[in-house]
Amino acid sequence: MSSQGEDYLHRFLDLSPDEKVDPRDVPLIALGGSGGGYKVMYGFAGFISAAKKHGIWDCITWTAGVSGSCWTLAAYFTIARHDIQRLIDHYLTVASELAHPMSIHALNMVARSKRGVYFLIGPLVSKAQKSIIGLGIMDLYSTLTATYQLLSREPKGRMSRATFQWSKIWHRSGIDKGLEPMPLLAAVRRVPKYSYEPKTISAKVRDAKKQPTSRQLDSVEGNDQVNSTASVSRRPKKLFQYFEISPLEVGSPDLNRYVPTWAWGRTFISGYSVDRRPEQSFSLLLGQCTSAPAGPLAECIKALLVTIPKNTMVARLVTVFNNLLQSKRFEGFWGNPIRAGHDPNPFYGLERPVGMREHTSEHSTYISRAVDQHQRGMHSSDKSVSNPEALQSHSFPPWEAQGRTRLMDSGMANNLPNHILARPERGVDVFISFDASSDIHTGAAVQRLHHFAADFDIDLRDVTREFHKPQRNTALCSTHALEVESRYIDHYARVFHGTRQSGQDMYITYCPLLPNALNPDFNPTVSVDPMHIPVLISVDCIIFDIHKPHVDTGSG
């Protein structure tokens, strides 16, 4: 039931008029879009359009995005004013320009638009003047990409202040009344260092001055400082903490700590704001959620590897180089020269939560570590904190000693936003995962779901056949179209069942962006032609039309 009394679930399931839906049977549904740059930005718009057409959008409580999907959600809730057709028209215009958002053409369009220079340069000047944190190359990347993509083309190029006030869409989009789902943007940061010294003013000042250099960040941010004289015990590389950005708050479900969205960018000490600056421009925050160029170099290479044909000379050379980067000898030496944008750490000076959950992109390492800790009766991935003897050896609780935080593209950890959607407080029953990643044709795509499940101690089981058997399209005539349908018919929508630790059942409907028999000559997994954007958007609608699951409501 909606807040306006509309029985959207009844309508979506196409139930008979005399059949009633018990509110206790209404599932909490979340829709998530993967990372994948412009391809997923356009594709996710098509998927949302199909979801609206069939009524499932009105049944969704949360929608989340990673990287390119964040661009889609940002545009949908700002310049499109939650009108999906307006968003599609906007994207068709953007695609026809054949311009990269960092190109001279894009910069010229923004500069010539009404108030374009203000929204391009203003956030940078404000951050440089009012913040103790300096500017970085990714701050410029953030404003360039955001202003170009959120530049309204009709009736002429213009931008407004409302576009860059993310916290205001809570009321402007009717989210507070249940008219639209709550949008969540996913990001990650490297696990910060913690101090075990007394939490005094002098200690805070001393730790604030000991900020790591850009080269040290790759090797230091994942370490806990046991004490000032003890040797640093190294963590496994590439540990991440997830962050979510909603119109209400920005924070980490791993830490269970949040600050109001309008307060992000302020300086905090021990949980208290020490300044009263206005809300930071949404372009800076959106840029950090989509900052794939600033990710760890090894993760960027892994993403490149899945797009290179296996058993080729190039693939072997890239693999050797990637193994060299991850070796002990060169660990932390070959960092990404492009640093992620940083802001004052709102959790600076706060004590580290006990039993804090941490995630890693090195999932095999994580799973083996989790199994080992389970056998020992541990509940935290940090041995120095999980071990009772280690806790007794320190008289002071660890606290965040890093004065700045660097958020980056969460695709570095997992290219689906299920981690932030799975907060226990939300109790999501059904996850709908739209995936337009570059590796959906490999086994790595489904592995992402199992990696997410392993992080939350959920055992996933493929139950697609228990729901319905995909129906073939009898209108197809050409041999090529029939071949495409036969190859992918079992992969357009897969259903996985899992059980949370609380005993709650959950389902994941996994929907990858794959070739479709109605347009057999277009392969969205490999095509990069901007002229195919209208086809890409329509492919999502077609897939949803033909493969909409049949729900059996006669039993139970």
| pLDDT in the model for residue 375 | 39
Tell me whether residue 531 is in a domain: yes
Give me the pLDDT at residue 134, please. Answer: 78
The reported pLDDT for the residue numbered 276 is: 86
Query: CB under 8 Å to 203, separation ≥6 — which residues?
Result: 195, 197
Find all residues with CB under 8 Å of 440, minimum gap 6, and list them. 512, 513, 514, 525
What pLDDT sits at residue 367? 38
**Cα within 13 Å of Cα(209), Cβ side:** 5
Whole-number Å distance between alpha carbons of 32 and 51 = 12
Which domain does 157 fall in, by range?
8-194+238-293+337-352+398-535
* pLDDT computed for residue 103 by the predictor: 92
**In this structure, are residues 409 and 292 in contact, taking their beta carbons and an 8 Å threshold?**
yes
pLDDT (tens digit, 9 = 90+) per residue, 431-483? 999 999 888 877 777 888 999 999 999 989 999 988 878 888 888 888 888 99
pLDDT at 478: 87
Residue 554 contacts by C-beta under 8 Å, 6 or more apart in sequence? none
542, pLDDT greater than 80:
no
Residue 114 lies in a domain: yes
The length of the chain in residues reads: 556
Retrieve residue 302's tokens: 């892994």
Amino acid at 239: L
User: Which range has the worst mean pLDDT, 106-120, 299-313, 505-519?
Assistant: 299-313
**The total number of structural domains that make up the chain:** 1
Q: Is residue 439 in some structural domain? A: yes
pLDDT above 70 as % of the chain: 74
Residue type, 386: S
Interatomic CA distance for residues 224 and 216, integer angstroms? 14
What sign has the CA pseudo-torsion 119, 120, 126, 127? positive
Whole-angstrom distance, CA of residue 551 vs CA of residue 124:
51
Higher pLDDT, 193 or 62: 62
In a domain, 108, yes or no: yes
Task: Flag whether pLDDT at 510 surpasses 80.
Answer: yes
Question: Contact 35/422 with Cβ under 8 angstroms?
Answer: no
**% of the chain beyond a pLDDT of 90:** 43
Indicate if the alpha-carbon torsion angle 418, 421, 425, 431 is positive or negative. Answer: negative
Cα(383)–Cα(233) distance, integer angstroms: 10
Angle at 239 between CA 375 and CA 430, to 5 degrees: 75
Least confident of 80-84, 278-282, 368-372: 368-372
Where is average pLDDT lowest: 142-156, 298-312, 375-389?
A: 375-389
Mean pLDDT score of the chain: 80
Question: Is pLDDT larger for residue 209 or for residue 356?
Answer: 356
Looking at per-residue pLDDT, the higher value among 352 and 47 belongs to: 47
Calpha distance 133→213 (Å, rounded): 13
Nearest to 140 by CA among 120, 158, 160, 113: 120
Mean pLDDT of the 309-317 span: 77
Q: Is there a domain that residue 367 lies in?
A: no
- What is the pLDDT, as a whole number, of residue 45? 95
Structure tokens at 411: 């695709």
Name the least confident of 3-12, 60-69, 375-384, 487-496.
375-384
Across 414-434, average pLDDT:
95
Q: Phi, psi at residue 16, to the nearest 5°? A: -70, 150
Q: What is the CATH number of the domain that holds 165?
A: 3.40.1090.10
Cα separation, 366 vs 364, whole angstroms = 5
Please check the confidence at residue 73 and state whether its pLDDT lies above 80: yes
Between helices 444-455 and 363-376, what is the axis angle to 10°? 30
The answer to whether residue 528 scores a pLDDT higher than 90 is: no
Mean pLDDT within 175-180: 94
Taking the C-alpha atoms of residue 543 and residue 556, their distance in angstroms, rounded to an integer, is: 29
Q: Is 77 domain-assigned?
A: yes
Cα 275 to Cα 259: distance, rounded to the nearest angstrom = 14
pLDDT at 329: 53
The pLDDT of residue 107 is: 94
242 within domain boundaries: yes
DSSP E strand stretches across 66-131: none
The average pLDDT across 407-420 equals 93
Token pair recorded at residue 92: 């068709």
By mean pLDDT, which of 138-147, 166-175, 518-527 is the weakest? Answer: 518-527
The helix (run of H) or strand (run of E) holding residue 360 is strand 359-360
Tell me the two tokens of residue 72: 């889609």
The number of CA neighbours under 13 Å toward the Cβ of 399 is: 22
List of residues 6+ apart from 431 with CB closer than 8 A:
30, 32, 418, 421, 422, 506, 507, 508, 509
In a domain, 371, yes or no: no
- Main-chain phi, psi angles of 501, to 5 degrees: -65, -25
Higher pLDDT residue, 229 or 98? 98
Whole-angstrom Cα distance, residue 308 to residue 303? 10
Measure the CA–CA gap between 146 and 285, rounded to whole angstroms. Answer: 10
